[in-house]
Chains A and B, each alone.
Chain A
């Protein structure tokens, strides 16, 4: 048995009123990739924050034994000195600084107050080469994509001489290709440098691919540690540990939903970038959706799916929009979002915190925001009605919250997503465009969102679901469009569609140019 690098023993951490961690144990061997899985709010991030010193020694109970000695970390610097480096889910890079400046932020090269820029960029380039990023370290971070930014984060960690790398949801904002590349990089470092890493992830296929051991956390307690070295474990096996029961089917069955006539149709839709009006973002796209139908739009990040959806939704994105839009057979031009809502269209954003919800406002305010006029008379809000509406949707969508007066910012990701859905359901649309409806939420909440989608189409509504998760698109859609580089590159029926056919649509379209 290899040397145990890290042992966290009986960690208990309480916040006022909540026990976030209850006697958690974690053992990580040197040179392994250890995955930490669990539903949202299970305590994974809290555990890592304890480890990295964000929650200082003394605010929790239990011991951290690292490299054979008991550690007392009071701040992040303490743990970094020992070689424990954490990379957070939300990237912590400064967009208007160069890659090199970012990498050595707080760890500057040079003597005392004067920074040696040659050494900085020279060192930075060395580490960039290690992670296989072909960019100069003098490029501004805002110029490179999220996939590359994630690599910069890893290079930054290596520059701190990391021995134990903690990655919190490293692939949540990456597409499949970039995710694979990142995971392979971790495997390479493990093999060549003996780097130990802990990876927190919701994407179980990735966990099964990369991890040597998987520790499952549920409700602040360790449930089990599964060894993944002898034959890959099935995702269902992991899910069982996470939710405490077997989920026989990850996608609820939809039966007896009749698919009717065409509800919305887009023809030759072209959109240009708002800041660079010569750049085509959506290129001559045609598509349609029927009554009672779930249409999936698959594609890589940056394929133009969100841009397509938002430009249809009252021209809320892009310039020089051209093409024909028909709703229920009638040609319409939706110049504003308000007109789009009036034509019974709804767009549920992929970025619920940034574009979707007012986090500092209560659930009820968020629920009624897109359709406030329907509960007001002469601009005066009927607050009783508002409360009733919010309660009704809370029950309907089974949102977990003490009251609808609760601020949305205090809810978990899954429940926030439900509030966002409630808001648009209350706007009473016939056509819903759901952009990444299950991003960053746990298995249980995902299932409930799928049930809501099924409910919507059974009421005769149309759903367009944009998703980067192939299993989800395959599991939920009646028909699938594939987009790449702004163009529609494939339309597949439920029977034709597999992960392979979708990927081949994308790859073939790329070669054509």
Chain B
């Protein structure tokens, strides 16, 4: 016997009957403005060499590096970056949503399969069927940020909640290839501050709030448990 979830089957349904014209809905012109703003070209911003390492730390996996800052215990930075260091144009950005049962759902509503194995290596989410796409992921950072401190692979988890531009593109390992826009973060007095001087809200994250899953090709996915 085969078990089918009705809600998933209904993904293939188009409702032409229950939907009623004339109901109050979102203003189309507002939607146009919101969408076209997000697909418009970004201005290029130079990345200061000093902070390339920070971005690399924020974006890549299993690195060690020197970080200069005063410290607070836990920071969270949410970044969007490319797979394998290949930057893509912002128009090709793809968003993946992590849901709390360990699954990833892509923009089309397809569920991506996960292999479950524990691993301490923190690497970029990667699925062999997906190429050169951007992922919205959260990387959690746990440790103190002091001058010249080293961050090893176990510490590289940075989660971020703040008003980060959704269309920011980063490259892996700090190599800026053709990013449309990059954002630099500075650590000042224990706070994370953008290049515009905006302080980012910091939040403590429990170990239990993230789940790590190893994929078939050896990379590991990090999930936020909602």
Do A and B interact? no
Interface, chain B (partner A; CB < 8 A): none
Interface, chain A (partner B; CB < 8 A): none
